[in-house]
Amino acid sequence: MKNCVSPRKRHRNQVLCTSKLLVIPGRCESSGDTLAFLTSLLEGFAQCGAVQQICVLVQAGSPLEQELADAGLLFSVQSIPVRSASQFLTHALQWVNQQPAEWPLLLDNWRPSVLWSTLILAAPRLCWSNRQVYHFYRDTALLQNPGLLLLQKLAFLYLAHHTICSSYFTAWHIARFTKNLRGILYPPVENDRGFNPSRSHEIPEPLATAIRTGAKIILAPYRCKTAQSGTDQSLMALIPMIVYLHSQGHSYHIALISEDEGITPGLVRKLRERLKQIGGGTWVTVLPSGARMSDYYSYTEVVVALSPQEPCGRVVVEAITAGVPVVGSQTGGIGEILSHFAPEWSVDATDPIVVAETILHLNADLNTPQKLVCGQEWIRMQGTLADYARKMMMITKMIPDSSRQWVRQGQATLSASSN
């Protein structure tokens, strides 16, 4: 097992709490974002000595349950034996209704419409019980579907719900239909989670040829899968970017990676065909679906993240922690994170030449190592996994909130952005 946190250890951050946070994820299929969030939350609660104060409900036999088992994190997981996602939600809510009403319920990043329609049916019971219900928005995909947005509004009419967001960017987008923002939780990264840039292990096989020829690796992560969600534009922008780099005499190689379901084959095929037409067919490698970015940081020169609507910028947090600079979109969560320590690394994602020149500049800039140190210090100031868990407990009123200043500052930021 990996990343195993013993529930009987790490009590230096122990909190006193008698309530329990019930968590229902929006999906139990394989998902890098969902797994990263739940892993951070469960490890954080464990470090606080509060494994009895959280329970994550998962579908029995699902990829998510297996991934949590592989990480040694089943000590606070309730397995629901059902066959489908809709059955899972129905039975999960029935299980929740049998628990004490003072235990808050956290709905994590729900996307499928079947989840919201099922919640509407269950809303009267939840409302009658006076249970506090929270929804964690970790992206804005929920807001791009009018039908899904209507279902959310109907569900929230019944529930005295509260909202948590992973960035001010996401919070700004949802502010138009909900005013119950309770807090902003940036994704945490623990310093000992394996993001070590030392090259002591074997060269990853998919990139072995490129690395041995001396090419510098550009790690390019993508979550979205369709042209409608913006992937097509940002993915195709890599072509003129890599062409410009090679035209300037610099040997770079793009490693495409998706920690979710993978990039649409059609888009990858289009990318490769375009590169072959200009003699650059060997300039890109598509890493295996589900591959972990942390396995490739050691050989990465720079991470390029051009998704303009990326919600929380977790890729920036992880890469900077590993000591890898990031050139990213100036909009969305990526630009939001970079603005704190290296705003000059944020670029117009629609201008591939500027992206390429920024890559060359940061590689030649003697101040780049210091900017990485500043970024790592900013990340450290955001808190450990234990701090992340404590903030979640404060937001959901499981423990007294010693200071609401960070929430008030966030509300002020949103108000300023709206004006």
Q: What is the DSSP string of 231-299?
A: HHHHHHTHHHHHHHHHHTT--EEEEEE-SSS---HHHHHHHHHHHHHTT-TTSEEEPPTT--GGGTGGG
Please indicate, yes or no, whether residues 148 and 251 belong to a single structural domain of this protein: no
Please indicate, yes or no, whether residues 391 and 334 belong to a single structural domain of this protein: no
The domain containing residue 28 runs over which residues? Answer: 21-188+384-417
146's CB contacts (< 8 A; 6+ apart) are: none
Contact 321, 315 (CB under 8 A): no
Please indicate, yes or no, whether residues 209 and 300 belong to a single structural domain of this protein: yes
CATH at 101: 3.40.50.2000
> Distance (Å, rounded) from C-alpha 61 to C-alpha 144?
31
Please indicate, yes or no, whether residues 232 and 260 belong to a single structural domain of this protein: yes
Contact 254, 281 (CB under 8 A): no
Contact 72, 94 (CB under 8 A): no
Q: Is residue 26 part of a domain?
A: yes
Number of Cβ atoms within 10 Å of the Cβ of 288: 11
Q: In the structure, what pLDDT confidence band is assigned to residue 30 with cuts at 50, 70 and 90? A: low
> Distance (Å, rounded) from C-alpha 168 to C-alpha 336?
8
Please indicate, yes or no, whether residues 92 and 234 belong to a single structural domain of this protein: no
pLDDT at 21 over 80: yes
Tens digit of each residue's pLDDT (9 = 90 or more) over 34-53:
888 899 999 999 999 999 99
H or E segment and range at residue 55 = strand 54-59
Please indicate, yes or no, whether residues 44 and 131 belong to a single structural domain of this protein: yes
115's CB contacts (< 8 A; 6+ apart) are: 26, 85, 86, 89
Tens digit of each residue's pLDDT (9 = 90 or more) over 221-265:
875 444 444 445 577 889 999 999 999 999 999 998 875 544 566
Please indicate, yes or no, whether residues 129 and 228 belong to a single structural domain of this protein: no
Q: In the structure, what pLDDT confidence band is assigned to residue 109 with cuts at 50, 70 and 90? A: confident
Mean residue pLDDT of the chain comes to 81
More confident residue, 157 or 322: 322
Q: Is residue 98 part of a domain?
A: yes
Please indicate, yes or no, whether residues 347 and 408 belong to a single structural domain of this protein: no
